[in-house]
């Protein structure tokens, strides 16, 4: 396994593996026995960065979520897991009532909601301090100042370590970080966004706004992270839910209809053939070693699936192979 540091403050920064494990479906689509086996193998291989959220996975159970955190908490207690494994969770997108969705009925990012949700997550996970806490989605009804101060208050109390943000526009991230810096408060240091090798059309309306989907990595976000090397980028859904390799998992039309997709798929397959790796492994290696590196966040429903992703950590692409992948249009 390989590692990198996220965060800058010695009191809160973490050394984490360059491959993160997503626990989104643990306790719902993935039963607890299987989840424990996946978690055990990940840690055995040197993995130290596990991701969840307080709303996972409400859409399976008609609940407000929390199943994933609960399973992780039981696993931590049963295995004696402590500070050696970084657990990241998110808040803000849990439905206010069971059986509803988060788009129009989310808990949001008010100071009160942040405090209550963080306390519930700590209880489910069995942690005195949350290692990394993200603002999961935007809250247009709460001033950024209140959100910034709400998260910073938890850090000051010692119940949260690092702060992160997901699914916000780049300008909102910058504005929130500026507000925090001006007030001498801790700000977002980890950014979690959807990022993969294949590009996505950005001229199509998204699920949340007419301007598109704020959770996607684009040129603006990449240039922002390039200009702010202290920030860490975590790439969720890097393998497009099996879309690279499974005929029964077709690519999202916004990806499949991108004019550059055929050329980039051809480049991927060519490098995979040369290296003896799978297409998925080439995607993960490309992300880890990119000019603007990211930490791929992979899910797994079996130990075998996890093994494929773990092997990507040791895949070294040559400069020529990386240049060919980057140049494919």
DSSP state of 94: S
Q: Could you give the CA distance from residue 231 to residue 212 in angstroms, rounded to a whole number?
A: 24
pLDDT at residue 198, rounded to an integer? 96
Q: Could you give the CA distance from residue 91 to residue 250 in angstroms, rounded to a whole number?
A: 30
Based on its alpha-carbon atoms, the radius of gyration of the chain, rounded to whole angstroms, reads: 19
Q: Check residue 296 and give left, alpha or beta (phi > 0: left; psi -120 to 50: alpha).
A: beta
What residues does each domain of the chain span? 3-253+279-319
Which of 202, 283, 207 has the alpha carbon at shortest distance from 241?
A: 283
CATH architecture of the domain 3-253+279-319 equals: Alpha-Beta Barrel (3.20)
pLDDT at residue 208, rounded to an integer? 46
Helix axes 279-288, 319-327, angle to 10 degrees: 100
pLDDT at residue 212, rounded to an integer? 58
Which of 323, 273, 315 has the alpha carbon at shortest distance from 296?
A: 315
Residue 238 contacts residue 303 (beta carbons within 8 Å): no
Residue 187 contacts residue 150 (beta carbons within 8 Å): no
DSSP state of 302: S
* CA 252 distance to own-chain centroid: 19
Residue ranges, the chain, pLDDT below 70:
103, 204-212
pLDDT at residue 216, rounded to an integer? 86
End-to-end C-alpha distance for the chain, whole angstroms: 32
pLDDT at residue 104, rounded to an integer? 74
């Amino acid at each position: 396994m390989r590692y990198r540091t996220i965060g800058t403050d010695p009191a809160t920064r973490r050394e984490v593996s360059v491959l993160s494990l997503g626990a989104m479906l643990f306790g719902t689509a993935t039963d607890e026995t299987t989840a424990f086996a996946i978690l055990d193998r990940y840690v055995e291989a040197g993995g130290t960065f596990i991701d969840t959220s307080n709303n996972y996975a409400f859409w399976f159970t008609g609940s407000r979520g929390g199943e994933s955190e609960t399973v992780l908490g039981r696993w931590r207690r049963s295995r004696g897991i402590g500070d050696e494994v970084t657990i990241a969770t998110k808040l803000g997108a849990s439905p206010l009532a069971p059986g509803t969705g988060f788009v129009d009925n989310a808990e949001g990012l008010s100071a009160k909601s942040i405090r209550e949700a963080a306390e519930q997550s700590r209880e489910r996970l069995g942690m005195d301090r949350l290692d990394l806490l993200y603002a999961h989605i935007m809250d247009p009804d709460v001033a950024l100042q209140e959100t910034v101060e709400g998260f910073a208050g938890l850090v000051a109390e010692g119940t949260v370590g690092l702060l992160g943000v997901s699914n916000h526009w780049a300008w909102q991230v910058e504005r929130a970080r500026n507000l925090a810096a001006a007030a001498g408060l801790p700000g977002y240091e980890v950014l979690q966004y959807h990022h993969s090798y294949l590009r996505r059309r950005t001229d199509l309306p998204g699920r949340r706004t007419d301007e598109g989907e704020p959770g996607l990595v684009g040129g603006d976000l990449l240039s922002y992270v390039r200009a702010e090397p202290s920030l860490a980028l975590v790439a969720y859904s890097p393998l497009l839910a099996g879309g690279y390799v499974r005929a029964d998992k077709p690519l999202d039309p916004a990806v499949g209809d991108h004019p550059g997709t055929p050329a980039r798929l051809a480049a991927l397959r060519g490098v995979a053939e040369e290296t003896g790796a799978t297409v998925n492994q080439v995607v993960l290696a490309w992300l880890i070693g990119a000019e603007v590196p990211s930490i791929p966040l992979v899910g797994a429903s079996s130990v075998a699936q996890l093994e494929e992703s773990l092997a990507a950590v040791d895949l070294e692409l040559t400069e020529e192979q990386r240049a060919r992948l980057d140049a494919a249009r």
